[in-house]
Structure 1
Amino acid sequence: MVDGKHLSATEALASVTKALDVLVLAYDRGEIGVTETARELGISRSTAHRILVTLQRTGFLRHDPGQHGYSAGPQLVRMGLAAIAQLDVRRQARRPLEELSEKLQETVCLYSLDAAVVRLLDGVECRHVLRVSVPLGQELPAHVTAAGKALLALRDSADVRATLPAVLPATAAGSITEWPLLEVELEEVRARGWAADLEESAHDLHGVGVAIRNRIGEPLAAISVYAPAVRLREQDMPAVATALQETATTIARAE
């Protein structure tokens, strides 16, 4: 809704596009004003002013007292730094992931946690005919994956509750959908230092995951091994977890 009027889908999309154009302009110029924004984007001064003020209120731009124009705000800076961090951890992790996949002869993945989901940043597929694929950029509910649970376990229960949806979604028959069960599971992960996925993200698929922390203990990402359940049995998981923890340490030291 703008000025008391409901926008159509087309108008809403146009508004979002204009806002993104303003952010790109601010990035290119470093600082932009109302007149410059209106001229460069071919919009009215009132529209330019409304977009700039909205982006300022939401933290994407900043306009300090005495500052002529608008520049990158804390939200935009945070997103940029997060993107850089993901690129860094991918670069640091690539060789260790390849070595671990070769050692275990299974698919190894690198995930980041973004609110309630994990995102696949990188991975190395094994050579088995029956293997787990690595669709880069894939997102899954964090609580159904080994990597996601490894990262969630680094947070306290209140933070996890605030991050995940009240109704936990399922992606397979084995997915944990009840909060008491998830809290017990995360306590077990905290105690042993690694997480398991027992057909929780997909049917007939098992996984083991550990978190990667930086030098001061903050989480960077998580790595996991995934394989058909027939090849990655529960009794094999502690040994796989040890190999993952060694690789996580190697990646963290490269930071």
Structure 2
Amino acid sequence: MSEQTSDEKYLLQSVNNALAIIDVLCEHDNLGLAELASYMNLGKSTVFRLLYTLQRKGYVSKDRNSKYHLSFKFARIGTIVTKRSELIELIHPFLMELSALSGETAHLVTWHSDTEIIFVDKVIGTATISMQSMVGFTRTAHMTATGKALLAYSSPEVVGTYMELAPFIMQTPKS
């Protein structure tokens, strides 16, 4: 029997698995039961029960081809989180001003994990060419200008952890 860390003993496996389904559906839209079970390395009966529960609570929907996707409930939740965020309330006026002065889209980005950033707010600029992004979008930090800025002003400890954990995979000819 493997030893658990002190935090892991409080982890509810069923809740963890249900949230993992949501994470998979964030990455891959319209997946069938077998596909989800394969991604999660779980049995189809377990995944079915989790999906059934998520569907009954309105978090996932199933189309006529028996493919699952996230429901619009997440849009509502995102709106609630955004409206309740003190950080966004504080920073949004500055994003508006920055966007108005530059004509560019202005983003508010923060750390999502040791290696990923998350876009938490944006104001669309008037420039004809702009970066396509959306609130909730996550990326490996060194793959974005905002992530590079966060890394540039991070402590040596944060950068050291990043260098150990980040996947340095070439995704463009210049990356």
Q: Structure 2-normalised TM-score?
A: 0.49
- Asked which structure has the greater CA Rg, the reply is 1
For CA contacts below 8 A with separation 6 or more, give which structure has more relative contact order.
Answer: 1
Higher-strand-fraction structure: 1
Q: Structure 1-normalised TM-score?
A: 0.35
